[in-house]
A = this chain, B = another copy of it.
């Protein structure tokens, strides 16, 4: 019988609109090496898989070799853990159902697990971050889109089809703003990057108050938050209204889930108190009274790519071997 080698490293991959980040991570959660490339350079999924596997193979060969890696975990928007597919991702260039896990596995030969960005973030926060020791919590990811992931009884609650946590597509304003999903008034239409900019533009049109936002061509949530810091009244009002909608949405969420904490991640959460103070105020007023005042709002330290490859590495350790005879 040959020697049994226990493989102590995995690959974690984070696919986001801006970049695809990939890393080798060891069993303690230390990142051995990490790199990235622009996701949008590959509008065809086959080109993307080719590029990704070329990058991975190079990285692995320079860092311990093919046999040192146990498995691969991938974080991707709108990914379904059960099927390993990306399903109708509204913001990615690849449309419809993309069997991401199977495609990559067939190219590189490792077992691959895939989960959506919010679930992966929750795995990472639970293993290494703010949710250490918590059994029931929710991670809310606010960036280009708005997603969430639920831990129930110490495990991810995936739902019957793997689509749980779609807080972005709960209706918050009856017959409200058009959402990319086809419905109207979804929370994502107000809380994600595009929505915040749309709210700012509406307010600029409807008001005569002077504002640093006026005349700025490429308004971003980050810029609006900077204007808040400079005391810009209208910018503060943009985040106040956005925060109130977030508080209302989360209150209904919490009344059904009763989590120990909401953990916020993603670019939008960088707005800090401008967003979360009005959100918490409305939240504590609207949530079921027996839980009012008890549920924590925590903001994740954000180095998004580093956090998410780490979360993806937790997912990789969870992967089941595809063959019993390996």
> Taking the complex as formed, is A206 at the interface, i.e. its CB lies under 8 A from any CB of chain B?
no
Are A259 and B290 in touch, CB under 8 angstroms? no
Which residues A131-160 have CB closer than 8 A to chain B?
134-137, 148, 150, 152-153, 155, 157-160
- How far, in angstroms, from A88 to B288 measured CA to CA in the complex? 12
Are B259 and A160 in touch, CB under 8 angstroms? yes
> Taking the complex as formed, is A93 at the interface, i.e. its CB lies under 8 A from any CB of chain B?
no
- How far, in angstroms, from A88 to B291 measured CA to CA in the complex? 12
Q: For A170, give the chain B residue with the smallest CB separation.
A: B252
> Taking the complex as formed, is A167 at the interface, i.e. its CB lies under 8 A from any CB of chain B?
yes
> Taking the complex as formed, is A171 at the interface, i.e. its CB lies under 8 A from any CB of chain B?
yes
Are B256 and A160 in touch, CB under 8 angstroms? no
> Taking the complex as formed, is A232 at the interface, i.e. its CB lies under 8 A from any CB of chain B?
no
Are A166 and B136 in touch, CB under 8 angstroms? no
Q: For A181, give the chain B residue with the smallest CB separation.
A: B289
> Taking the complex as formed, is A215 at the interface, i.e. its CB lies under 8 A from any CB of chain B?
no
- Total interface residues on A, CB under 8 Å, equals 46
Cβ-neighbour of A288 out of B169, B253, B290 (below 8 A): B169
- How far, in angstroms, from A126 to B205 measured CA to CA in the complex? 55
Residues of B within 8 A of A189 (CB): none
- How far, in angstroms, from A164 to B291 measured CA to CA in the complex? 9
- How far, in angstroms, from A88 to B135 measured CA to CA in the complex? 25
Q: For A295, give the chain B residue with the smallest CB separation.
A: B160
Q: For A287, give the chain B residue with the smallest CB separation.
A: B169
Are B259 and A256 in touch, CB under 8 angstroms? no
- How far, in angstroms, from A182 to B289 measured CA to CA in the complex? 8
- How far, in angstroms, from A300 to B150 measured CA to CA in the complex? 28
> Taking the complex as formed, is A257 at the interface, i.e. its CB lies under 8 A from any CB of chain B?
yes
- With A161-B290, A163-B290, A286-B183 given, is the CB distance from A253 to B251 under 8 Å? no
A22 to chain B, nearest CB (A): 27
Contact with B along A72-101 (1 / 0, CB 8 A): 000000000000000110000000000000
Are B167 and A256 in touch, CB under 8 angstroms? yes
Cβ-neighbour of A136 out of B160, B251, B288 (below 8 A): B160
Q: For A148, give the chain B residue with the smallest CB separation.
A: B256
Which residues A278-305 have CB closer than 8 A to chain B?
285-286, 288-291, 294
Q: For A252, give the chain B residue with the smallest CB separation.
A: B170
Q: For A150, give the chain B residue with the smallest CB separation.
A: B256
> Taking the complex as formed, is A260 at the interface, i.e. its CB lies under 8 A from any CB of chain B?
yes
- With A153-B157, A256-B253 given, is the CB distance from A163 to B291 under 8 Å? yes
- With A153-B153, A294-B161 given, is the CB distance from A170 to B256 under 8 Å? yes
> Taking the complex as formed, is A255 at the interface, i.e. its CB lies under 8 A from any CB of chain B?
yes
Residues of B within 8 A of A316 (CB): none
A-B contact pairs, 12 of them (CB 8 A): A87-B290, A88-B290, A148-B256, A150-B256, A153-B155, A157-B157, A160-B258, A160-B259, A161-B290, A161-B291, A166-B255, A253-B256
